[in-house]
């Protein structure tokens, strides 16, 4: 017998990507909401009206990773947005220029709402899709449009009900999952650092550090969003335990970071296993066991004791209206993003009105899909996978229904099953999700038009229209640049200035001021948002994110020192000298991007304090602002930009 090649096929099979994991709980909730809304209205009023309720169920794309108090409020507001956008689009149906205006305004408003309020989900994509479905239908009088919009609201209410049902069964699950992920990623970083030893992190170790920092940032954000902004109410026992745990985790991360320095002590061996055990307890919904950590760390007590009372280091609680005013902040990236989406939708709808396509509304959907809805990827990536998924989804639909028109309840069953499947898939599986969502949208549109012009023909025209929209969306990215550099500079300067103010209060009073520390964490969160948004809007990489990362890491370490270091005062003269140096750093940060010639020329000469740990961190910030990112040489290493898969909420 001829021997088989030694493991060649087996190694090739191992290289194949694993199938995407399915969030069964989310899939079941989506199935129940969709089937209840679509099925009940179909049974009472017919499938053409049931389709409108099914459109409202697209609300379940939003808020899945938000804590329940915030999720309930924002998705309730978004339900009103679904209803209003569908009503306006229904009135504009059949009038080209009215459709252009309505769909463009809906795209801009939905993008600003979802992104500015940091609601998890695919931007304003599904709001545009619902409005486009309303514009796709034959024109209706105001009374009929109001009835259809009410059914859209009914479907959205079903999705809202099943999306917030966990408020009663597991009210802390989102923040527990975020904290558990942070514990696991810090454990992985600690294990990698223990194996690597002192030295600058590179390769897998640098990726592990990015994952740990981003996951811990996401955990703090999730815990912050559990605090109501309009009621004064203290934390319950579990949230207080999570706050204490995350404060200690900051100290653990600092010890791991210090182990990479030349004179740093190694990471204690039991820490990774202890972190993983604690992560399991938190994810299971239990209050973690008391975790004192090691008795001491080199140079003093271990920095894993909870030294800050609630709510520090969380930012000061603002009223809900303050969230909307973030639109006017010079460091917000979202006005530029919303403008680009609105221009793409307007251009796509206008051009589609002049060429022989089935309907301009589908082109608007394709243009919006090219610019948002992907998991922190560039438009080229989103457009390519969406086009491939649309082609396969249309092909499957056309093959299955070429000579067979599904009945009423077959339509309800197939649409409900497809909706549940693609809701349960992770955001990274954009190709599979698009492949499943395309037949669902076609089934809904076919039901709403009572089978005219037929599902097979509808699928063919959908492919042509969406492909044209994706191409126009890509063209918009070439004509309209992404986030302006001045907004990136404003985010960097704001974070440096707020960190400098918090450090100055610490140096002059001897202890951290909760209010200034909270404002500094808030400014750092804005820089995190900018760091995540910049590469998602680039047609080709500009290396801006690589320029921001060292500064982001240095600021984060300074704030961690401010939070965790034991109380102590610098001498009066030394504190004033360090404060002047911090002010000069803040001013220089607005001169240009980190590493640019403008910022290097504006940076002051280092004037470091006598405290060795603080001096080292300030030197890291000075170096991060002055140093250029390494140039790309050869093939990009695998695993880069892992932060986009970690920081993919919203």
CA 129 to chain centre: 20
Kindly tell me the sign of the dihedral angle through the C-alpha atoms of 224, 228, 229, 235: negative
Top pLDDT among 537 and 51 is at 51
Q: Tokens at residue 637, please?
A: 């290493």
Mean pLDDT of 258-285: 86
Q: What percent of the chain has pLDDT over 90?
A: 31
> To the nearest whole number, what is the mean pLDDT of the chain?
82
Cα separation, 271 vs 277, in Å, equals: 10
Each residue's pLDDT tens digit, 497-538: 999 999 888 888 877 788 888 889 889 999 999 998 887 777
Q: Is the pLDDT of residue 438 over 60?
A: yes
Mean pLDDT of 36-62: 95
pLDDT, residue 458, reads 78
Mean pLDDT of 611-639: 71
Of 333, 370, 356, give the one whose Cα is nearest residue 471. 370
Q: Is the pLDDT of residue 28 over 80?
A: yes
Cα separation, 246 vs 165, in Å, equals: 27
pLDDT, residue 336, reads 86
Backbone dihedral region of 510: left (phi > 0), alpha (psi from -120 to 50 degrees) or beta? left
Contacts of residue 15, Cβ cutoff 8 Å, sequence gap at least 6: none
Collapsing DSSP to helix, strand or coil, 605 comes out as: coil
Residue 299 pLDDT level (bands cut at 50, 70, 90)? very low
Residue 20 pLDDT level (bands cut at 50, 70, 90)? low
- Side-chain half-sphere of 260: how many Cα atoms within 13 Å? 17
Peptide bond before residue 174 is cis, with ω within 30 degrees of 0: no
Cα separation, 80 vs 82, in Å, equals: 5
Contacts of residue 3, Cβ cutoff 8 Å, sequence gap at least 6: none
- Asked if residues 397 and 442 have their Cβ atoms less than 8 Å apart, the reply is yes
Q: Where are the beta strands (DSSP E) in 256-332?
A: 296-297, 300-301
Of 132, 79, 94, give the one whose Cα is nearest residue 367. 132
Each residue's pLDDT tens digit, 562-616: 888 777 666 667 778 888 888 889 899 888 889 888 998 998 888 777 778 888 8
């Amino acid at each position: 017998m001829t021997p088989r090649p030694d493991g060649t096929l087996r190694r090739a099979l191992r290289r194949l990507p694993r199938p995407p994991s399915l969030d069964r709980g989310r899939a079941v909730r989506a199935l129940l909401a969709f089937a209840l809304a679509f099925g009940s209205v179909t049974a009472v009023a017919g499938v053409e009206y049931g389709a409108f309720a099914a459109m409202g169920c697209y609300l379940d794309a939003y808020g899945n990773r938000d804590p329940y108090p915030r999720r309930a409020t924002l998705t309730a507001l978004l339900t009103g947005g679904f209803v209003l956008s569908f009503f306006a689009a229904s009135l504009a149906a059949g009038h080209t220029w009215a459709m252009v205006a309505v769909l463009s305004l809906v795209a801009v408003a939905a993008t600003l709402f979802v992104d500015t309020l940091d609601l998890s989900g695919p931007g304003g994509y599904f709001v545009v899709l619902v409005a486009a479905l309303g514009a796709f239908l034959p024109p209706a009088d105001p009374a009929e449009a109001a009835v259809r919009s009410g059914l859209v609201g009914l479907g959205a209410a079903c999705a809202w009900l099943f999306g917030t049902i966990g408020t009663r069964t597991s009210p802390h699950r989102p923040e527990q999952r975020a904290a558990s992920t942070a514990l696991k990623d810090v454990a992985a970083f600690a294990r990698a650092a223990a194996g690597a030893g002192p030295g600058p992190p590179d390769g897998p170790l640098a990726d592990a550090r990015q994952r740990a920092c981003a996951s811990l940032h996401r955990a703090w954000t999730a815990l912050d969003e559990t605090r109501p902004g309009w009621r004064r109410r203290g934390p319950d026992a579990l949230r207080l335990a999570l706050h204490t745990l995350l404060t200690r985790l900051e100290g653990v991360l600092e010890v791991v970071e210090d182990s990479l320095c030349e004179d740093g002590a190694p990471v204690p061996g039991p820490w990774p296993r202890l972190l993983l055990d604690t992560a399991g307890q938190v994810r299971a919904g239990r209050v973690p066991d008391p975790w004192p950590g090691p008795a001491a760390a080199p140079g003093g007590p271990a920095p894993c004791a909870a030294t800050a009372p609630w709510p520090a280091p969380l930012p000061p609680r603002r009223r809900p209206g303050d969230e909307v005013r973030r639109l006017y902040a010079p460091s917000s990236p979202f006005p530029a993003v919303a403008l680009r989406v609105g221009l793409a939708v307007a251009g796509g709808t206008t051009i589609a009105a002049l060429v022989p396509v089935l309907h301009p509304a589908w082109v608007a959907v394709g243009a919006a899909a090219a610019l948002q809805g992907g998991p922190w990827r560039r438009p080229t990536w989103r457009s390519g996978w969406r086009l491939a998924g649309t082609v396969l989804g249309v092909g499957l639909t056309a093959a299955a229904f070429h000579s067979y028109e599904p009945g009423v309840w077959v339509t309800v069953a197939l649409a409900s099953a497809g909706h549940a499947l693609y809701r349960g898939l992770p955001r990274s599986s954009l190709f599979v999700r698009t492949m499943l969502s395309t037949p669902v949208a076609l089934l809904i549109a076919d039901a709403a038009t009572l089978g005219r012009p037929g599902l097979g023909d509808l699928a063919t025209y959908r492919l042509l229209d969406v492909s044209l929209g994706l191409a126009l969306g890509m063209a918009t990215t070439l004509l309209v640049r992404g986030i302006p550099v001045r907004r990136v500079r404003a985010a960097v300067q704001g974070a440096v200035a707020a960190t400098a103010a918090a450090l100055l209060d610490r140096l002059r009073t001897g202890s951290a001021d909760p209010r200034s520390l909270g404002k500094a964490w808030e400014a750092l969160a804005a820089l995190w948002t900018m760091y995540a948004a910049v590469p998602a809007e680039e047609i080709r990489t500009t290396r801006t994110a690589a320029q921001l990362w060292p500064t982001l890491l240095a600021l984060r370490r300074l704030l961690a020192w401010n939070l965790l270091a034991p109380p102590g005062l610098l001498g009066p003269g030394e504190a004033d000298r360090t404060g002047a140096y911090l002010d000069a750093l803040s001013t220089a940060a607005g001169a240009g991007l980190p590493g640019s010639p403008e910022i290097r020329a504006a940076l002051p000469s280092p004037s470091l304090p006598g405290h060795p740990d603080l001096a080292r961190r300030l030197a890291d910030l000075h170096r991060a602002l002055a140093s250029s990112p390494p140039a790309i040489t050869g093939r990009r290493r695998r695993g880069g930009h892992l932060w986009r898969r970690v920081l993919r909420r919203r």
